[in-house]
Structure 1
Amino acid sequence: MISLTNIEKVYRTSTIETLALNNINLHIGQGEFASIMGPSGCGKSTLLNIIGLLDAPSKGSISVGGQPVTSYSDQEMARLRNQRLGFIFQSFHLINDLSVLDNVEIPLLYRKQISAAQRRQMAQEALERVGLSNRVKHFPKQLSGGQKQRVAIARAIVGRPEIILADEPTGNLDSVMGNEILSILQGLNNDGATIVMVTHDEAMAKKTHRLIRLFDGTMVGDTTLTLC
């Protein structure tokens, strides 16, 4: 589904050059639930951003569904992200002045073929999926951390993406809330979504299908996991 070939990412300033990713070759298959682990600063989030087409590699190529996308224009990349990818962030990135329902609708605003009534219906269905149908009129400041993350998941899945990318989705939550979020992700994966998750939590990672390890920007492990 997503293939990265000979990916290199270099960050440059006037005096310093930092190699963030070095010769990454990675294929994420349809229906996989893969986790990415490694110490802070090893390139996990950079890799996730490149998989999600939020950042461009310095070298190498990317394909999605067998289609090379490295040379896509910014507009083509944005359309692909909106139609096929969903993003979940550690810090939620909700808009405090918007209701829960309005926050979830945001990705659909860029799909001009979807009417306002359809957007509202799809957002309500996404919130029901994550157990928040009774919070549609609340605002983010009225929610717990776990509820905010569930809103963020609803926003990520409202457009029914094939691929969900999650950057430390349980990092700001206690273990109980973290397990609830992981359970939601597992349910989405069971329904066919491909998921790539960055995490520092070994126990969480071992509940996925595959564990990819990074160290200093290099892939040092890629293990298929046997789930109990």
Structure 2
Amino acid sequence: MIHLKNIEKVYRTSSIETLALTNVNLHIGAGEFVSIMGPSGCGKSTLLNMMGLLDAPSSGQVEINGQTVTQYRDQELARLRNQHIGFIFQSFHLINDLSVLDNVEIPLLYRKGDETGSSRRQLAQLALERVGLSNRMKHFPGQLSGGQKQRVAIARAIVGRPSIILADEPTGNLDSGMGNEIMGILQQLNADGATIVMVTHDETMAKKTHRLVRLFDGSMVGDSTLMYNEQ
């Protein structure tokens, strides 16, 4: 599903060189729910960006669904992201001037397919129903709580029915109660077949996943199987 081989990422400026990732080898199979942990600045988000085709490695190889994408052009990467990958962010990234329903529909607008306006609207409604927000479709982000905003963000991530969901600190801005609700939704999406990779600082949330990958100073220092906890 996701295969990273000998990944290295170096950020360079005129005066400094920063090694963000070094010799990362990671395989994530279909249907796994993997958490990534490590101290701030260790390369967690950079690693997630590699999986999401938002950033390219300085060296090494990235495979998504059996396709080696390292040499893909920007247009090819954008199409692959849109068709196969859903993103969830800590800060929600909702557009305040659009309704909840319109926010969720956005990824479908970039697809070149047979979906009509009415079919896109129906898919957005179904995604919101799936996260328990069918009664908030006409609201705007400013009228929602943090937990509701994250539910909208999840609905937007899954509206295109991606096989991979990448979540960067999805519970980071929420209290423990709301965080557990969001984790429950992610667990259900995983049970329904989605492959999920989640960056988190929260050990409690990480223990609700199948597998824990630990990073330190850009290197993988741990990769352990967990006892999946659905509570």
TM-score tier (shorter): over 0.9
TM-score for both structures, normalised by structure 2: 0.98
* Corresponding residue number in structure 1 for 2:7: 7
Task: Measure how far apart 1:169 and its partner are.
Answer: 0.1
Task: Measure how far apart 1:112 and its partner are.
Answer: 3.0
**CA distance in structure 2 between the aligned counterparts of 1:83 and 1:66, rounded to whole angstroms:** 15
Task: Measure how far apart 1:109 and its partner are.
Answer: 0.1
- The one-character-per-residue Cα deviations of 1:68-121 (angstroms, maximum 9, x if unpaired) are 111111000000000000000000000000000000000000113211000000
1:98 matches 2:98: yes
Runs of 4+ in 1 over 3 A off after TM superposition: none
Task: Measure how far apart 1:219 and its partner are.
Answer: 0.1
TM-score for both structures, normalised by structure 1: 0.99
Task: Return 201-210 or 112-121, whichever deviates more.
Answer: 112-121
Task: Measure how far apart 1:66 and its partner are.
Answer: 1.4
Q: Which amino acid aligns with 1:197?
A: M
Aligned residues: 228
Structure 2 residue runs without a partner (length 5+):
none
**CA distance in structure 2 between the aligned counterparts of 1:117 and 1:223, rounded to whole angstroms:** 45
* Corresponding residue number in structure 2 for 1:180: 181
**CA distance in structure 2 between the aligned counterparts of 1:60 and 1:139, rounded to whole angstroms:** 43
- The one-character-per-residue Cα deviations of 1:124-149 (angstroms, maximum 9, x if unpaired) are 00000000000000000000000000
1:21 matches 2:26: no
* Corresponding residue number in structure 2 for 1:138: 139
* Corresponding residue number in structure 1 for 2:172: 171
- The one-character-per-residue Cα deviations of 1:16-63 (angstroms, maximum 9, x if unpaired) are 000000000000100000000000000000000001100000000011
**CA distance in structure 2 between the aligned counterparts of 1:30 and 1:53, rounded to whole angstroms:** 18
Task: Measure how far apart 1:185 and its partner are.
Answer: 0.2
**CA distance in structure 1 between the aligned counterparts of 2:199 and 2:67, rounded to whole angstroms:** 25
* Corresponding residue number in structure 2 for 1:160: 161
Q: Helix, strand or coil: the match of 2:72?
A: coil
**CA distance in structure 1 between the aligned counterparts of 2:228 and 2:184, rounded to whole angstroms:** 14
CA RMSD, Structure 1 to Structure 2 (Å)? 0.6
Q: Which amino acid aligns with 1:148?
A: K
1:207 matches 2:208: yes
Q: Helix, strand or coil: the match of 1:7?
A: strand
